[in-house]
Structure 1
Amino acid sequence: MSLTFETALQSFRPQLPLAVALSGGADSTALLIACAAHWPGQVWAFHVHHGLQTAADGFEAHCRALCERLAVPIQVRHVDARHASGQSPEDAARQARYAALEDMLGEARDVRAIALAQHADDQIETIMLALSRGAGVAGIAAMPMQWARAGVDWHRPLLRTGGEDIRRWLKERDAEWVEDPTNADERYTRNRIRRHVLPTLESVFPQFRDTFARSAEHAAQAAELLQELADQDLLNVGNPPSIKALRALSRARQANVLRHWLRVAHATTPSAAQLGALLDQVAACTTRGHRIHLKVGRGFIERNDGLLDWYN
């Protein structure tokens, strides 16, 4: 069920000291104010300056001034978040941001946990983007509320709280925040979803935040089961995979284990068409003379005796 901002914070029990990823926007500003009040002297702020717009200097100034008022220590990292050719600008910024946060965690060695301010509307946007791309259960699972990475607990305590409730909490306290001008730029798909799709969903399905959240939880459980099955099947088919062992599995399990093998052994992901073509070749591979040579992910798969080899 949806949670108010205050209820979400009451149920948030991180290890301390805690870092809050602070962009200067409403959501992270509210999260920092609440955490600093709840755990005085135990909270840090981490700010990432993406260097993508002139307003970024104002974001940093707001964050520094806020932290000074709250008596919260702040770390700032300047990064080059420009995207490479063929890369999504949003993906490039996200990768640069998480790399900077991990870097700051490495320096603030006493920090035991970090909190990110994504909320329920962000989660819905992530699910909608995943569905628009034809994602599987891992994509529909969207953003987890908690996970561990590099010895630190990462949290998203506001994933069940709507953005409007967070802003209402701030306004009641006369707190100020900065608005990122890119949030109004409809060249970004997330902004179009936020402006056009979410209001329609709310008018037709008033409880859509709760129901979508349940679907994401179900998808996360299914993704976990598929991962466990892929681990087991990879042990059985081998690395590189045996074609004979693969053919003993159903087509769905072949797809699951091959996708897993390519990701963990070769850091590449096949398209749906590439994976389908590979499965067809495995099914047709009934004689010694049958050759396989397919473009898969960033490289190629070939048959080598009774095994599948990948190279780039």
Structure 2
Amino acid sequence: MTKRAKAGRTAKPAKKSARPASGRNAIAASIDALPEGRYLLAVSGGRDSMVLMDAFAAARPAQVAVVASFDHGTGPAATRAADHTRREGERRGLTVVTGSRTGRVMSDGADAAKVQAGEEEWRRARWEFLNAQARELGATIVTGHTLDDQVETIFMRIFRHAGARGIAAMFAPSPIVRPFIRVPRDDVADYAKSKGIKFLEDPTNASMRFLRNRVRHELLPAAERVQPGISAELIRIAERAAEWREIVADCADILGAVDVAIKPGQGDEGTLSVAIPAPALIGMQRELLGVIWPELVARAGGSLDWRGLARLNGEAGILKAGSEIPIAGGLSVMRTPTSFVVRNQGVDGPLY
């Protein structure tokens, strides 16, 4: 087992500076602020990710391991976007790889449940591809998410009754690098216009079938009209939530949480596991367990909904050594003579 050092946790998004740059300067400053590395650029063909690719090509081309695009198999628009990314990436001298999935185009009359299931399937397939490419190349994934994307995500998380862990959204520590997470979407648009960057609009961005689009075009503007400045307040709430997550992570370290290293040949090479001494949790108040269990599951690369948390709170304390509690999505908690071990056999899931 290996101790997870505080400094070794996944990276934190950069704090907002007192006098942030704006427009094209904000884009350049965001790329310049990244450490030396080997990067995989996740590019969809849309404006934000095309700006990401252009900025990297201009400032740090040697550090771009690959540009990765993904054709979701949802119709001609998705294929055109992947082809556009390939052409523009190669024109800038970058290596481009394209993943794809086969699937049906969702009908306009699809109900909300089918729409959500379709979004989740597209997202899962895309992240499996990105993670596989990043592992193969030893690269860090970079996305073009902006400050506006963060506001929309926070809004949706609150809409879905998320707690502090979820409300932190993309401010939470993550292995994914998001250099534009403090950059407003308007600044990205200004950069694209000034540089004449060619991009494609995803036709699904105008469809009100998708929650994010309803939030972007209807709900958030309405909320701003009723309570001006609510977007800035959501950002401040997410910042505090991210700080709270760091405190919880420190507590898990103090309790003895460790990553379990899987040795080659043990048969669990596809499993990510995190262990914590059993005495640290046995007898702990349910309220505290409700904070620690999600942290341990997150370290194993998973997430825990209220059903899984209720099951762990109810059963883990009476679990005998050698027994295991299945949760969901390849996640389980096993009891050894000395520890609780969170095991995740579905580690290719999206890391947001």
Q: TM-score interval w.r.t. the shorter chain?
A: 0.7 to 0.9
Deviations 1:163-183 (A, max 9, x none): 232122212233221011111
In structure 2, the partner of 1:252 is 287
Could you say what the CA RMSD is over the residues aligned between the two structures, in angstroms?
A: 4.3
1:73 is matched with 95
State the Cα distance separating 1:25 from its structure 2 match.
0.2
The one-letter code matched in structure 2 to 1:119 is T
- Aligned counterpart for 1:89 among listed residues 95, 115, 118: 118
Matched, 1:144 2:171: yes
Cα gap change, 1:122 to 1:47, in 2 (>3 Å): same
Kept in 2: contact 1:20–1:116 (CA 8 A): yes
Question: Please, what TM-score do these two structures have when normalized by structure 1?
Answer: 0.74
Are 2:57 and 2:92, in contact at CA under 8 Å, matched by a contact in 1? Answer: yes
* Alpha-carbon distance, 1:30 to partner: 1.1
> Does residue 126 of the first structure (1) align with residue 120 of the second (2)?
no
Are the aligned partners of 1:22 and 1:47 in contact in 2 as well (CA < 8 Å)? yes
Aligned match for 2:198, one of 166, 172, 176: 176
Structure with larger RCO (C-alpha < 8 A, sep 6+): 2
1:86 to partner: Cα distance: 10
Letter in 1 for 2:120: D
SS at match of 1:161: coil
Q: 1:69 to 1:208 in 2, by over 3 A?
A: farther
Work out whether residues 234 and 241 of structure 1, in 8 Å CA contact, stay in contact via their aligned partners in 2: no
Change (3 A) 1:241 1:107: closer
| Separation (CA, whole Å) in 2 of partners of 1:18 and 1:245 | 39
Judging changes above 3 Å, is the alpha-carbon distance between structure 1 residues 240 and 3 closer, same or farther for their aligned structure 2 residues? Answer: same
Report the Cα offset of residue 260 of structure 1. Answer: 5.2
Aligned residues between the structures: 291
Letter in 1 for 2:50: T
Query: 3-state SS of the aligned residue for 1:75?
Result: strand
Query: 1:262–1:198: structure 2 CA closer, same or farther, 3 Å change rule?
Result: closer
**What one-letter code is carried by the residue in structure 1 that aligns with 2:125?**
A
Q: Which runs of 5+ in 1 are unaligned?
A: 149-153, 286-294, 302-306
Q: State how far apart, in whole Å, the 2-side matches of 1:38 and 1:239 are.
A: 43
Q: Which amino acid aligns with 2:210?
A: Y
Equivalence for 2:242: 220
Bigger radius of gyration among the two:
1
Q: Which residue of the other structure, out of 29, 38, 55, is the alignment partner of 2:50?
A: 29
CA 1:66–1:226 in 2, change beyond 3 Å: closer, same or farther? same
Aligned: 1:18 with 2:36:
no
- Deviation of 1:187 after TM superposition, in Å, equals 1.1
The residue that corresponds to 1:155 in the other structure is: 177
In structure 1, C-alpha distance between the alignment counterparts of 2:74 and 2:29, rounded to whole Å: 35
Give me the whole-angstrom Cα distance separating, in 2, the residues matched to 1:113 and 1:239.
28
CA–CA distance in 1 between the matches of 2:300 and 2:38?
36
User: Does residue 187 in structure 1 map to residue 209 in structure 2?
Assistant: yes
Q: What code does the residue aligned with 1:129 have?
A: M
Please state if 1:199 is matched with 2:221: yes
Q: Gaps spanning 5+ residues in structure 2: where? A: 1-15, 107-112, 258-274, 319-324, 334-338, 343-352
Opposite residue 60 of structure 2, the aligned amino acid is W
Letter in 2 for 1:89: G
In structure 2, how many angstroms separate the alpha carbons of the residues matched to 1:267 and 1:165? Answer: 33
Confirm or deny: 8 A CA contact 2:43 2:68 kept in the other structure.
Answer: yes
Residues in 2 aligned to 1:74 and 1:98: alpha-carbon distance in whole angstroms? 16
Match of 1:9 in 2: 28
In 2, distance between residues paired with 1:116 and 1:39?
Answer: 15
How far off is 1:127 after superposition?
A: 0.7
Q: In 2, Cα distance between the equivalents of 1:300 and 1:65?
A: 44
Going from structure 1 to structure 2, the CA distance change for 1:185 and 1:147 (only over 3 Å counts) comes to: same
Deviations 1:172-204 (A, max 9, x none): 233221011111111111110001122234445
Deviations 1:107-142 (A, max 9, x none): 434xx4432001111111111111112111110010
